[in-house]
């Protein structure tokens, strides 16, 4: 086989395996030439061969793209249309049960909310922690009262600056993960009985915070690509008396979208005008698949209404739950609540992470993680398309490591969850992401682990289970129709 034929065969195999998806841009001739150490002439011949075979297509001034195969046009997820009425929240029992099922080391953790730790430098961070523990045997807990370790706060502030946005270090409050940051911020801006607006579907940790504090939730229509419907939110603010808003503008869990800069500005402007605080969960902000770090709502906030929350649990280590909040004009309340709730955040993990950020190439680590997740997202989407029933649709994540899967009507996500669990496969049923049963035929899948035969077999099994449930549902419907 000649060099250009081998290159063409390799690229065709990536398309077949779902690593490169229809409509996706493939590396340029120059990039491929450099990466494979081939002449540009060889690469051009390979691309021409692939184009002649209908695998890729050339678009003027844009490059080469994977050609969509006949009959393979994707069915897109539609924007959600939740009930406009406030409701109580009661999802914690289901979430706890699901997380316990994931705990088994023998289960395939497709339902896990946590990233696979194999890409994390936890051994290096643990070495820093051990060295710090030896140096500071007689640690005084008062040394790290809120807002937290000065070394870590300095590194967090530098990180924002490196990503194009300068923050005031005095605004940072270190917390026990982003979960504590979210809970503290919500407690600072609302009281029991208040109504909180959220995206639909939304990450269940946000619902937990609302449930724990005795508040009510109202879901806002959300587009799977563009994010929360700002006009719908404006109407709900005027009609329902909303106390605060909670959103994930970057790589929302479970939909994976990234709101545009224009829409982020518009959202902050609306909430500033209405004097309504917004809690921004940005735990996935560093896990982007594009070329540049996304902006945050915080970058457009001039009135201090954005309470920005983030953590290192999704990007660096989930062994040490270290997060932070930038609470804007609510800084004083959040800092006081932090002191009242947990006094301090563990000192040694803070300093260990600060040492890693200072010395060990955080950007290099993140580039490796992003590349892996972007590739695994493509593989998971292709596998779902291949193995799941016809009519299944998925999100198109722009970052993060979770995929939202909408099954055909008739497939009950809870039944699928229990059937999968019997086969040692976990999924996150859609019921966890809303206060009602709006997403009873949806599941969320985690694709952060390296693709393996075991994971592929698990996805194939899920597809067969879904087919079986769908067929049973349709048989039942036909029997009902046949009754006099």
Say yes or no: 432 and 346 in one domain.
no
Helix residue ranges per DSSP H, 80-137 = 92-102, 122-135
In which band, very low, low, confident or very high, does the pLDDT at 1 lie, cut at 50, 70 and 90? confident
Q: Is the pLDDT of residue 103 over 80?
A: no
> Per-residue pLDDT averaged across 288-301, rounded?
94
Buried b (16+ CB within 10 A) or exposed e, 228-242: bbbebbbebbeeeeb
In which band, very low, low, confident or very high, does the pLDDT at 122 lie, cut at 50, 70 and 90? confident
* Torsion-angle region of 14 (φ positive above 0: left; ψ -120 to 50: alpha; else: beta): alpha
> Per-residue pLDDT averaged across 426-442, rounded?
91
Say yes or no: 132 and 37 in one domain.
no
Q: Is the pLDDT of residue 267 over 90?
A: yes
Helix residue ranges per DSSP H, 282-361 = 331-342, 347-359
Rounded Cα distance, 482 and 71, in Å: 33
Rounded Cα distance, 352 and 430, in Å: 37
State the CATH number of the domain containing residue 145: 3.40.640.10
State the pLDDT at residue 367: 94
Q: Which domain holds residue 377?
A: 364-482
Buried b (16+ CB within 10 A) or exposed e, 53-74: eebbeeeeeeebbbbeeeeeee
Say yes or no: 369 and 355 in one domain.
no
Q: Is the pLDDT of residue 105 over 70?
A: no
In a domain, 244, yes or no: yes
| Residue that is last in its domain, among 342, 359, 376 | 359
State the pLDDT at residue 438: 85
Say yes or no: 15 and 37 in one domain.
yes
> Per-residue pLDDT averaged across 249-259, rounded?
96
Among the residue ranges 27-31, 69-73, 94-98, 342-346, the one predicted with the least confidence is 69-73
Q: Which of 46, 41, 40 is nearest to 7 (CA)?
A: 46
pLDDT digits (tens, 9 = 90+) for 201-226: 999 999 999 999 999 999 999 999 99
DSSP 463: H
Q: How many CB atoms lie within 10 A of CB 113?
A: 22
Say yes or no: 348 and 374 in one domain.
no
Give the residue with greater pLDDT, 188 vs 144: 188
In a domain, 325, yes or no: yes
Cβ 232 vs Cβ 221: under 8 Å:
yes
In a domain, 99, yes or no: no
In which band, very low, low, confident or very high, does the pLDDT at 127 lie, cut at 50, 70 and 90? very high
State the CATH number of the domain containing residue 28: 1.10.10.10
Q: Is the pLDDT of residue 74 over 60?
A: no
Phi, psi of 258 (to 5 degrees): -125, 115
Say yes or no: 186 and 268 in one domain.
yes
Domain count, the chain: 3
> Per-residue pLDDT averaged across 279-296, rounded?
95
Say yes or no: 431 and 400 in one domain.
yes
In a domain, 85, yes or no: no
In a domain, 92, yes or no: no
Say yes or no: 166 and 255 in one domain.
yes
State the CATH number of the domain containing residue 391: 3.90.1150.10
Rounded Cα distance, 107 and 157, in Å: 39
In a domain, 37, yes or no: yes
Percentage of the chain with pLDDT > 90? 69
Query: What's the pTM?
Result: 0.85
In a domain, 388, yes or no: yes
Contacts (Cβ under 8 Å, ≥6 apart) of 313: 114, 177, 178, 283, 321, 322, 323
Among the residue ranges 56-65, 144-153, 402-411, the one predicted with the least confidence is 56-65
State the pLDDT at residue 54: 86
| Residue that is last in its domain, among 49, 66, 83 | 66
Say yes or no: 256 and 294 in one domain.
yes
Q: Is the pLDDT of residue 72 over 50?
A: no
Q: Is the pLDDT of residue 435 over 50?
A: yes
DSSP 309: E
Pairing between strand 227-228 and 402-406?
A: unpaired
In a domain, 103, yes or no: no
> Per-residue pLDDT averaged across 358-379, rounded?
91
Q: Is the pLDDT of residue 374 over 80?
A: yes
Among the residue ranges 81-90, 396-405, 415-424, the one predicted with the least confidence is 81-90
Q: Is the pLDDT of residue 71 over 50?
A: no
Say yes or no: 381 and 420 in one domain.
yes
Say yes or no: 405 and 477 in one domain.
yes
Rounded Cα distance, 3 and 190, in Å: 65
State the pLDDT at residue 73: 43
pLDDT digits (tens, 9 = 90+) for 12-67: 988 887 778 776 788 999 999 998 899 999 999 999 999 888 899 887 666 888 88
Say yes or no: 332 and 388 in one domain.
no
> Per-residue pLDDT averaged across 77-105, rounded?
79
Percentage of the chain with pLDDT > 70? 93
């Amino acid at each position: 086989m000649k060099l250009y034929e081998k290159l063409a065969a390799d690229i065709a195999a990536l398309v077949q395996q779902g690593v490169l998806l229809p409509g996706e841009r493939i590396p340029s001739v120059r990039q491929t030439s450099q990466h494979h150490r081939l002449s540009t002439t060889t690469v051009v011949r390979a691309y021409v061969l692939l184009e002649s075979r209908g695998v890729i297509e050339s678009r003027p001034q844009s490059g080469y793209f994977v050609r969509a195969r006949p009959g393979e046009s994707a069915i897109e997820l539609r924007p959600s249309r939740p009930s406009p009425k406030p409701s109580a929240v009661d999802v914690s029992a289901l979430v706890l049960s699901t997380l316990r099922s994931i705990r088994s080391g023998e289960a395939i953790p497709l339902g896990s909310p946590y990233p696979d730790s194999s890409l994390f430098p936890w051994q290096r961070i643990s070495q820093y922690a051990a060295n710090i523990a030896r140096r500071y045997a007689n640690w005084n807990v008062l040394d790290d009262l809120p807002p937290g370790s000065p070394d870590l706060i300095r590194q967090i502030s530098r990180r924002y600056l490196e990503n194009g946005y300068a923050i005031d270090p005095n605004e940072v409050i270190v917390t026990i993960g982003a979960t504590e940051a979210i809970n503290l911020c919500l407690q600072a801006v609302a009281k029991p009985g208040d109504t909180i607006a959220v995206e639909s579907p939304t990450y269940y940790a946000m619902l937990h915070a609302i449930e724990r504090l005795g508040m009510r939730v109202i879901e806002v229509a959300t587009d799977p690509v563009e994010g929360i419907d700002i006009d719908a939110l404006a109407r709900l603010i005027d009609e329902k008396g909303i106390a605060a808003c909670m959103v994930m503008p970057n790589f929302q869990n479970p939909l994976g979208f990234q709101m545009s800069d224009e829409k982020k500005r518009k959202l902050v402007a609306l909430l500033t005008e209405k004097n309504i605080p917004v809690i921004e969960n940005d735990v996935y902000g560093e896990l982007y698949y594009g070329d540049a770090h996304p902006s945050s709502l915080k970058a457009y906030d001039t009135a201090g209404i954005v309470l920005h929350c983030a953590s290192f649990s999704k990007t660096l280590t989930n062994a040490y739950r270290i997060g932070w909040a930038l609470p804007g004009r609510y800084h004083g309340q959040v800092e006081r609540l932090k002191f009242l709730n947990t006094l301090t955040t563990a000192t040694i993990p803070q300093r260990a992470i600060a040492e890693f950020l200072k010395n060990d190439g955080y950007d290099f680590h993140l580039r490796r993680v992003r590349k892996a997740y972007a590739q695994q997202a493509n593989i998971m989407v292709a596998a779902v398309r291949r193995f799941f029933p016809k009519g299944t649709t998925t999100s198109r994540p722009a970052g993060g490591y979770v995929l939202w899967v909408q099954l055909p009507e008739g497939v009950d996500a809870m039944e699928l969850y229990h059937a999968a669990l019997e086969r040692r496969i976990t999924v996150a049923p859609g019921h966890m992401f809303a206060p009602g049963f709006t997403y009873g035929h949806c599941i969320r899948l985690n694709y952060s682990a390296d693709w393996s035969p075991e994971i592929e077999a698990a996805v194939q099994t899920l597809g067969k289970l879904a087919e079986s449930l769908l067929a049973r549902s349709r048989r039942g419907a036909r029997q009902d129709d046949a009754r006099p």
